Chains A and B, each alone.
Chain A
Amino acid sequence: MTAAVFFGCTFIAFGPAIALFVFTVSREPLRVIFLIAGAFFWLVSLLLSSLVWFISVQISDKNNPSQQKGLLIFGVVLSVLLQETFRFAYYKLLKKANEGLLTLSQEETMPISIKQLAYVSGLGFGFMSGAFSVVNILADSAGPGTVGIHGDSQHYFLSSAFMTMAIILLHMFWGVVFFDACEKQRWWAVAAVIVSHLTVSCLTFQNPEYVASLVPTYVIMFLMGVWAFYCAGGSLRNLKLCLTCTDKDFLLANHRAR
Chain B
Amino acid sequence: MDLLPNKWISSLFICCFITGLSCNSVEKKIYVKLNYTVPCVRLLNATHQIGCQSSLSGDVGVLHVLESEDNLDWVLNTGHSPPYMVILEAELFTRSIMLKLKSGARRVAGVVVIEPNTNLPGGFSPHTTCPNENTGVYTDKYDPALAHCNHTLWNPLGNGLSYEEFDFPIFSLKDDNDTQVIRQCYLDHNRGVNGSAPEYPLCAMQLFSHMSAVTDTPTCIRRNKIQNDFSISPEMVCDPLGGSNIWTSTRPINNTQKGHKMFESVVIAAARLDSRSFFFDLAPGAQSSASGLIALLAAAQALKNITETEETQPNKTIVFTFFEGETFDYIGSSKMVYDMENEQFALDLDNVHSVLEVGQVGIRPSNSAIWFHSDPVSQRNDSVKAEILRSMFDNTENLNMSYPPGLTPEQQLSFVTETAAVAQLLYGFLVKSNNSWFQQIIPSDFVRSLVDRPTNFYTGVHMQKSEPSFLVEYILANLTGTVVNVTQENCKNQRENADDKESKHLYSYIWVQGALAPNSTKRDSFCVRSSVRLSPAISPAFDLEQLTTSDYSTWTESRWKKITGRIFLVASHDLEMLTLESASPSCSRLFFYLRDQLKGRYSVLLRERTH
Q: Give A residues with C-beta under 8 Å from B.
A: 1-2, 4-5, 7-12, 15-16, 18-20, 23-24, 47, 51, 54-55, 115, 136-137, 140, 143-150, 152, 154, 156-158, 232-235, 237-239, 241-243, 247, 249-250
Contact = CB atoms under 8 A, between A and B. Distances in A.
A9 B568 contact: no
B7 interface: no
A254 to B, nearest CB: 12
Contact of B571 (A5, A24, A55, A250): A5
A11 B608 contact: no
Interface in B111-135: none
B570 A146 contact: yes
B579 A16 contact: no
Contacts of A144: 58, 60, 204, 206, 568, 570
CB-based closest 5 A-B pairs: A15-B587, A145-B568, A8-B579, A11-B583, A19-B591
A16 B606 contact: no
A21 B579 CA distance: 23
A5 B583 CA distance: 10
Interface in B1-36: 12, 15, 19, 24, 26-27, 29-32
Contact of B583 (A9, A145, A146): A9
B604 interface: yes
Residue with the highest number of chain B CB atoms closer than 10 Å, among A2, A144, A235: A144
Nearest to B28: A150
Contacts of A1: 573, 576
Contacts of A51: 12, 15
Nearest to A137: B26
Given A7-B583, A12-B586, A146-B571, A54 B15 contact: yes
Contacts of A242: 598, 601, 604-605
Interface in B184-198: 185
A136 B576 CA distance: 19
B379 interface: no
Given A154-B571, A242-B601, A4 B606 contact: no
A1 B571 CA distance: 10
Given A12-B587, A18-B587, 19 more contacts: A1-B573, A2-B571, A4-B580, A8-B583, A11-B583, A11-B587, A12-B582, A19-B588, A23-B591, A115-B606, A144-B204, A145-B31, A145-B569, A148-B569, A154-B571, A158-B582, A237-B609, A241-B604, A250-B601
Contacts of B204: 144-145
Given A234-B606, A247-B604, A249-B601, A9 B579 contact: yes
Contacts of B586: 12, 15
11 contacts: A7-B583, A8-B576, A11-B588, A12-B582, A12-B583, A16-B591, A148-B30, A149-B567, A232-B606, A238-B605, A242-B598
Contacts of B584: 11
Interface residues of B, number: 49
B544 interface: no
Contacts of B31: 143, 145, 149
B222 interface: no
Nearest to A24: B602
A9 B578 CA distance: 11
A4 to B, nearest CB: 4
A134 B424 CA distance: 60
A23 B595 contact: yes
Given A146-B201, A146-B570, A149-B185, A233 B579 contact: no
B203 interface: yes
Contacts of B606: 115, 232-234, 238
Nearest to B18: A54
Contacts of A137: 26
A47 B579 contact: no
B579 A4 contact: yes
Interface of B: 12, 15, 19, 24, 26-27, 29-32, 58, 60, 185, 201, 203-204, 206, 566-571, 573, 575-577, 579-584, 586-588, 591, 595, 597-598, 601-609
Contacts of A239: 605
A22 to B, nearest CB: 9
A140 to B, nearest CB: 5
B579 A158 contact: yes
B218 to A, nearest CB: 36
A234 B605 contact: yes
A238 B607 contact: yes
A150 B29 contact: yes
Contacts of A232: 606
Given A233-B608, A234-B605, A238-B607, A152 B580 contact: no
A177 to B, nearest CB: 14
Given A19-B588, A146-B570, A156-B29, A4 B577 contact: yes
A51 B588 CA distance: 37
B29 A152 contact: yes
Nearest to A253: B600
Given A12-B586, A238-B605, A146 B12 contact: no
A234 B601 CA distance: 12
B201 to A, nearest CB: 6
A55 B604 CA distance: 51
Contacts of B583: 7-12, 15
A19 B587 contact: yes
Nearest to B185: A149
A8 B577 CA distance: 8
A152 B32 CA distance: 14
A136 B23 CA distance: 12
B579 A149 contact: no
B30, B204, B586, B595 pick with most chain A CB within 10 angstroms: B30
A186 to B, nearest CB: 17
A8 B12 CA distance: 34
A4 B206 CA distance: 19
Contacts of B604: 238, 241-242, 247, 249-250
A15 B582 contact: no
A149 B203 contact: yes
A157 B30 CA distance: 11
Contacts of B29: 147, 149-150, 152, 156
